[in-house]
């Protein structure tokens, strides 16, 4: 499973179901570009989904996993969508990869104009592309990278970038194999919502009501709190719409018990493997939140400063709301600047209860 997770190589995945392919063709879904190609028997031409050419009749359409397959079947590339050349998505990924490399290797942060120039686009366009591929702004990426570099240098083992370069991280494919480590997880995979993955889960009772615990092979990927089993399961399905959700087995129950233990006694150290899914920016924030000790609170503004994005308090609140791991990522310890509780994804009363519990056990 970890293979599929770290290897989102474009064009290598098996052909999606024909119905799905056809739906993407009808919708001219540009997001499906790279997933498959379609050919038209009557014209002898093949296209990528999203092509603006006139829609063919379903009966004349065939699907291919790669452009090479389509050509081997005797079709020639469409002149409009140029399916034999790198797709827009691939070109953007390459462009963003180059920008990341430039940011990492520059002593000072290159200007947006400089970065955009490499790809021949405007500053604004560049900003948008970068964000859509990495999930964070170039500035946040640079700040995150600088923080990593500093931490690693202090630990004397050289920088992450050096380590990656040492490991032969020079080719495009290597970058993508490493991307989940650098970017948190592949943005494409994140959007696909756990496709092809098996997620085990269980719903139980705790002192805060119903609790749902879900885990991948890597670790716990969701801890959700609520009043009703059905709404918790629905929330899990919304977060991982394409994963194969299965009920927990006895081995899983032990993990679930640990997670419940964490909720009941947040000040106790629990060895709980986590599989934290989010964009690079969200992961930065959640990592910062995990450093808040039990019994303490921090403001949204302080978290924003600690991740090198002062003024991003609103984005911090957004990341808290998107947190999939109640208590394990203790977003309940993040409060307003004036100390008031503000909101909580799982009901502000639960936030209050958690904070009271932590304060009490710290005092004891
Ligand atoms: Zn075309």
| Inter-residue contact 232 to 203 (CB < 8 Å) | yes
pLDDT score at 307: 83
Q: Is the pLDDT of residue 208 over 90?
A: no
Ligand 1 centroid – CA 45 distance (Å): 8
Q: Is the pLDDT of residue 223 over 50?
A: yes
Residue 339 and residue 335: Cα distance in Å, rounded?
Answer: 6
Number of residues written out for the chain: 364
The catalytic site residues sit at 47, 331
Cα–Cα distances (Å) from 247 to 193, 195, 203, 244, in that order, read 18, 18, 9, 10
Render pLDDT for 66-111 as a digit per residue (tens, 0 to 9): 889 999 999 999 999 889 887 777 777 778 888 888 887 877 788 8
Q: Is the pLDDT of residue 8 over 80?
A: no
pLDDT score at 194: 56
Q: What is 7-36 written as a DSSP string?
A: ---TTTSPPPPHHHHHHHHHTT-GGGBTTB
Task: Name the DSSP letter for residue 110.
Answer: P
pLDDT score at 318: 83
Q: Is the pLDDT of residue 60 over 90?
A: yes
Q: Show Cβ contacts of residue 211 under 8 Å, excluding neighbours closer than 6 positions.
A: 203, 204, 205, 223, 224, 225, 232, 259, 260, 263
pLDDT score at 148: 59
Ligand 1 centroid – CA 25 distance (Å): 11
Q: What is the mean pLDDT of the chain?
A: 76
Cα–Cα distances (Å) from 134 to 12, 129, 192, 211, in that order, read 21, 9, 15, 32
pLDDT band, very low/low/confident/very high, at 362 (cuts 50, 70, 90): low
Ligand 1 centroid – CA 12 distance (Å): 20
Q: Is the pLDDT of residue 46 over 50?
A: yes
- Inter-residue long-range contacts of 234-237, CB under 8 Å, 24+ positions, other chains counted: 236/199, 236/201, 236/212
Q: Per the confidence metrics, is the pTM higher than 0.85? A: no
| pLDDT top residue among 245 and 51 | 51
Q: Phi/psi at 264 (nearest 5 deg)?
A: -70, -35
Ligand 1 centroid – CA 24 distance (Å): 14
Lowest mean pLDDT among 158-167, 283-292, 313-322, 351-360: 158-167
* Helical residues (DSSP H) of the chain, grouped into ranges: 2-6, 18-26, 67-72, 88-105, 112-119, 123-134, 138-154, 160-166, 172-183, 187-192, 229-239, 250-264, 280-290, 300-306, 313-322, 348-363
Lowest mean pLDDT among 54-68, 122-136, 142-156: 142-156
Render pLDDT for 24-38 as a digit per residue (tens, 0 to 9): 999 988 777 778 899
Q: Is the pLDDT of residue 175 over 50?
A: no
pLDDT score at 25: 93
Domains of the chain with bracketed CATH:
2-77 (3.40.10.10), 88-183 (1.10.10.60), 198-262 (3.30.160.70), 280-363 (1.10.10.10)
* Helical residues (DSSP H) of 204-299, grouped into ranges: 229-239, 250-264, 280-290
Q: Is the pLDDT of residue 136 over 70?
A: yes
Partners of 212 in beta bridges = 203, 224
**Mean pLDDT value of segment 276-303:** 86
Render pLDDT for 302-352 as a digit per residue (tens, 0 to 9): 998 888 877 777 788 888 888 999 988 999 999 988 878 877 888 888 999
Ligand 1 centroid – CA 106 distance (Å): 40
Residue 182 and residue 38: Cα distance in Å, rounded?
Answer: 33
Q: Is the pLDDT of residue 43 over 60?
A: yes
pLDDT band, very low/low/confident/very high, at 151 (cuts 50, 70, 90): very low
pLDDT score at 7: 29
pLDDT score at 41: 95
| Inter-residue contact 14 to 41 (CB < 8 Å) | no
pLDDT score at 155: 41
pLDDT score at 79: 92
Q: Which of 271, 267, 268 is nearest to 356 (CA)?
A: 267
């Amino acid at each position: 499973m970890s293979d599929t997770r770290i290897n989102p190589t474009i064009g290598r995945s098996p052909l999606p179901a024909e119905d799905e392919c056809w739906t993407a063709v009808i919708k001219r879904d540009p997001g499906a570009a790279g997933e498959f190609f379609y050919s038209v028997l009557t014209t002898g031409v093949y296209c990528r989904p999203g092509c603006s050419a006139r829609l063919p009749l379903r009966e004349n359409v065939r699907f291919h996993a790669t452009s090479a397959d389509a050509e081997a079947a005797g079709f020639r590339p469409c002149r409009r969508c140029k399916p034999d050349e790198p797709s827009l998505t691939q070109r953007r990924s390459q462009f963003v990869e180059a920008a990341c490399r430039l940011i990492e290797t520059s002593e000072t942060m290159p200007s947006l104009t400089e970065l955009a120039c490499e790809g021949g686009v405007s500053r604004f366009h560049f900003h948008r592309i970068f964000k859509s591929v990495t999930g964070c702004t170039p500035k946040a990426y640079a700040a995150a990278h600088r923080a990593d570099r500093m931490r690693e240098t202090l630990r004397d083992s050289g920088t992450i970038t050096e380590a990656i370069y040492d490991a032969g991280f020079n080719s495009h494919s290597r970058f993508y194999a490493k991307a989940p480590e650098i970017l948190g997880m592949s943005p494409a995979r994140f959007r696909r919502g756990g496709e092809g993955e098996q997620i085990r889960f269980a719903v139980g009772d705790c002192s805060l009501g119903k609790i749902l615990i879900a885990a991948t092979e890597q670790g716990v990927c969701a801890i959700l709190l609520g009043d009703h089993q059905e709404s918790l399961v629905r929330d899990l399905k919304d977060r991982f719409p394409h994963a194969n959700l299965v009920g927990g087995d006895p081995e899983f129950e032990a993990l679930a018990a640990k997670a419940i233990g964490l909720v009941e006694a947040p000040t106790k150290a629990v060895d709980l493997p986590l599989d934290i899914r989010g964009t690079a920016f969200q992961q930065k924030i959640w990592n910062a939140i995990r450093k808040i000790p039990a019994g303490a609170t921090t403001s949204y503004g302080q978290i924003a400063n600690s991740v090198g994005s002062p003024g991003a308090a609103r984005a911090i609140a957004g990341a808290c709301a998107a947190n999939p791991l109640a208590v394990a990522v203790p977003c309940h310890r993040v409060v307003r600047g004036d100390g008031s509780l503000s909101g909580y994804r799982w009901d502000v009363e639960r936030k209050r209860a958690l904070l009271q519990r932590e304060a009490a056990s710290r005092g004891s």
